[in-house]
Amino acid sequence: MTAQPATIRVGIIGTGVMGADHASLLDSSVSGAVVSAVADADAERAAGVAKGLAAARVVLDPLELIAADDVDAVLVASADQTHEAFVLACLRAGKPVLCEKPLAPTEAAARRMLDAERALGAGTVNVGFMRRFDPGYVELKEIIDGGVIGVPLVVHCVHRNASSQHGATAADVVTGSVIHEIDAARWLLGEEIVAVRSHAPHRRGQAESAVGPVLVTLEAASGTVVAIEAFVNATYGYDVRCEVVGDRGTVALDPVGPTATMLGGQRRQPIAADWRPRFSEAYRLELQNWVTALRSGTLSSAASAWDGYVATLVAERAVESLATGQRVAVITPPS
């Protein structure tokens, strides 16, 4: 990688929930970066986000944004199915790109992106699996890697959202939410997933108004099992949990939040409405890491295109398993 200018001028494609959040973090809380351009299929939304930034202009065509002279690097935060076209355009333009998860909705698309990156030189695509930067997950990994809890045997993961988009299916829960756990498991354990099994339980004879909990089990190469419950209509708020059980002890993310109030005979603790407050520091640290690496011409420690590809591959097998509830082997090609 070649070093980039002292201030990285970032172009953002997609100014919805995540794009707007990233834009604000890049402009206000990340050193060495400025958002120079934003694009969105909804031009009014892009203009609204640009208005709150120091020096961003609105570009109507995302491909024009990628090619622009005042854009050194691109952040893709548009809808999942648009990632491939934009990432490939960045690679062709020789511009580094941080793409929100998932890298792509299908293994075939993710493979095309990985192959394009390899054909054009490594290290230009990163994927927004921000848990790798969350202080809690980082500490979990340090404790596991330090051998403190012994050999990891089981990982329990819970991923709950208050409500999902209308019409979301169990497959969407896997490709949109469980994929975070898939990447976190590979990263925490430092090994590949060799098989998956999925299940979407429902009460017999009862019509469901929205998708319920989805259970996915991952088998790691060493035999460690990762048990995931993803429930995107949990109603009460956003809740992510992770506990790793080793043969000498366990380590878990601390639940919910930093403070609790004792009042009127009750212990109360606020629960975030969505993922932004829970992972705000992780997003900031991820963006800072990406920008710092670009400035110094080194590789970012954010998830790579390979990590993005493998997570999509495992998610695709987990979706396959939903149909039968049977174990499906995951054959990861050599990296």
Ligand X SMILES: NC(=O)c1ccc[n+]([C@@H]2O[C@H](COP(=O)([O-])OP(=O)(O)OC[C@H]3O[C@@H](n4cnc5c(N)ncnc54)[C@H](O)[C@@H]3O)[C@@H](O)[C@H]2O)c1
Positions touching ligand X (CB under 6 A) are 13-19, 39-42, 45, 62, 77-80, 82, 100-101, 128, 130, 176, 275
Residue number, 127 or 140, with CB nearest to ligand X: 127
From the CB of 171, what's the least distance to ligand X, in Å?
Answer: 14
Residue 130 near residue 98, CB atoms below 8 Å? no
The burial of 248, by beta-carbon neighbours within 10 Å (0-12 exposed, 13-18 middle, 19 or more buried), is given as exposed
From the CB of 130, what's the least distance to ligand X, in Å?
Answer: 5
73-106: b (≥16 Cβ within 10 Å) or e? bbbbbbebebbbebbbbbbeeebbbbbbbbbbbb
From the CB of 269, what's the least distance to ligand X, in Å?
Answer: 22
Point out which residues pair with 216 in neighbouring strands: 198, 228
Residue number, 179 or 226, with CB nearest to ligand X: 179
d(CA 55, CA 302): 26
Residue number, 22 or 317, with CB nearest to ligand X: 22
Residue number, 90 or 328, with CB nearest to ligand X: 90
Point out which residues pair with 33 in neighbouring strands: 8
Using DSSP, state whether 330 is helix, strand or coil: coil
From the CB of 16, what's the least distance to ligand X, in Å?
Answer: 2
From the CB of 63, what's the least distance to ligand X, in Å?
Answer: 9
Residue number, 165 or 222, with CB nearest to ligand X: 165
154 C-beta neighbours (distance < 10 Å), count:
13
Of 4, 282, 26, the C-alpha closest to 136 is 282
Q: Which residue is nearest to ligand X (CB)?
A: 16
